[in-house]
């Protein structure tokens, strides 16, 4: 959980892209980095091995004005998908506000998807969190490949619960539904945040002041 800085009018949220190895988490971030307005993003930082496998994490900071009067900073992280890097995944999940779970749609990857999902729920439990407490959406990635499982089957495997998560058919290499999934998790976490915020007890209620037109912050607004 991040802290709201009332003086600089900033709120920070952390969104983590989680999923099995080679499912396309880094490709999601690369696409977002390429296509988002450069005024609204920072550098994409990738800590990868020589063979471009994520070693530690990828990190992409984004800015938006989505809450009246506040600059909202979204920090996008990926985790290393390889099984041996679980300690790193636990670190990256720390203080997470939203999760995009990226599943590989290929038949032969279903077991890895399920293992990664279980690993996610286990790692959240270590932080005393449950998947139902964290805004989360599912991406069924690589829908352009020939050997993909039907969406109904993946839904049955990964999303078979009373309150189903929002899911997207994604081709991260071309960007299909990459922004749709990011926007969906952002909206879910913002609405959870609005429910979670409480009026102060005994202190005067801070008033959110809209950003003045013509200021540097207003210029960072998306067109």
Q: Does 57 bind other proteins (CB under 8 A)?
A: yes
Q: What string marks each residue from 196 to 215 as x (binds other proteins by CB under 8 A) or -?
A: xxxxxx-x-xx-x-------
Q: Does 160 bind other proteins (CB under 8 A)?
A: no
Q: Does 17 bind other proteins (CB under 8 A)?
A: no
- For 219, the token pair is 């210029």
CA distance 105 to 117: 14
- Cβ-based nearer residue to other proteins, 92 or 170: 92
Q: Contact, 112 vs 21, CB < 8 A?
A: yes
How near is the Cβ of 182 to other proteins at its closest, in Å?
Answer: 6
How near is the Cβ of 108 to other proteins at its closest, in Å?
Answer: 31
The set of residues, in sequence order, having a beta carbon less than 8 Å from that of 173 and lying 6+ positions away, is 24, 27, 31, 144
Q: Contact, 22 vs 31, CB < 8 A?
A: no
Q: Does 5 bind other proteins (CB under 8 A)?
A: yes
Strands 10-18 and 70-78: parallel
Describe the crossing of helices 151-158 and 110-126 by its angle, rounded to 10 degrees. Answer: 30
What DSSP designation does 171 have?
B
> What residue ranges bind other proteins (CB under 8 A)?
1-8, 12, 14, 32, 35-37, 40, 42-43, 45, 47, 56-57, 59, 61-62, 64-69, 73-75, 77, 87-88, 91-92, 94-96, 175, 178-179, 182-183, 186-187, 190-191, 193-201, 203, 205-206, 208, 222-223
């Amino acid at each position: 959980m991040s802290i709201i800085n009332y003086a600089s009018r900033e709120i920070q949220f952390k969104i983590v892209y989680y999923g099995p190895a080679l499912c396309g988490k880094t490709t999601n971030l690369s696409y977002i980095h390429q296509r988002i307005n450069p005024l609204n993003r920072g550098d994409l930082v990738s800590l990868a091995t020589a063979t471009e496998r994520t070693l530690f994490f990828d990190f992409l900071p984004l800015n938006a004005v989505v809450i009246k009067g506040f600059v909202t900073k979204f920090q996008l992280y990926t985790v290393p998908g390889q099984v041996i890097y679980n300690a790193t995944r636990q670190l990256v999940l720390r203080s997470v506000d939203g999760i995009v779970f990226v599943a590989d749609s290929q038949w032969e990857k279903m077991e890895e998807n399920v293992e990664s999902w279980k690993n996610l729920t286990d790692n959240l439990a270590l932080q005393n969190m449950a998947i139902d407490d964290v805004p989360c959406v599912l991406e069924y990635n690589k829908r352009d490949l020939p050997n993909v499982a039907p969406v109904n089957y993946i839904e049955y495997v990964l999303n078979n619960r009373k309150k189903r998560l929002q899911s997207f058919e994604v081709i991260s290499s071309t960007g299909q539904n990459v922004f749709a999934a990011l926007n969906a998790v952002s909206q879910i976490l913002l609405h959870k945040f609005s429910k979670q915020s409480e009026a102060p007890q005994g202190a005067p209620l801070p008033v959110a002041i809209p950003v003045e037109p013509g200021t540097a912050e207003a210029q960072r607004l998306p067109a």
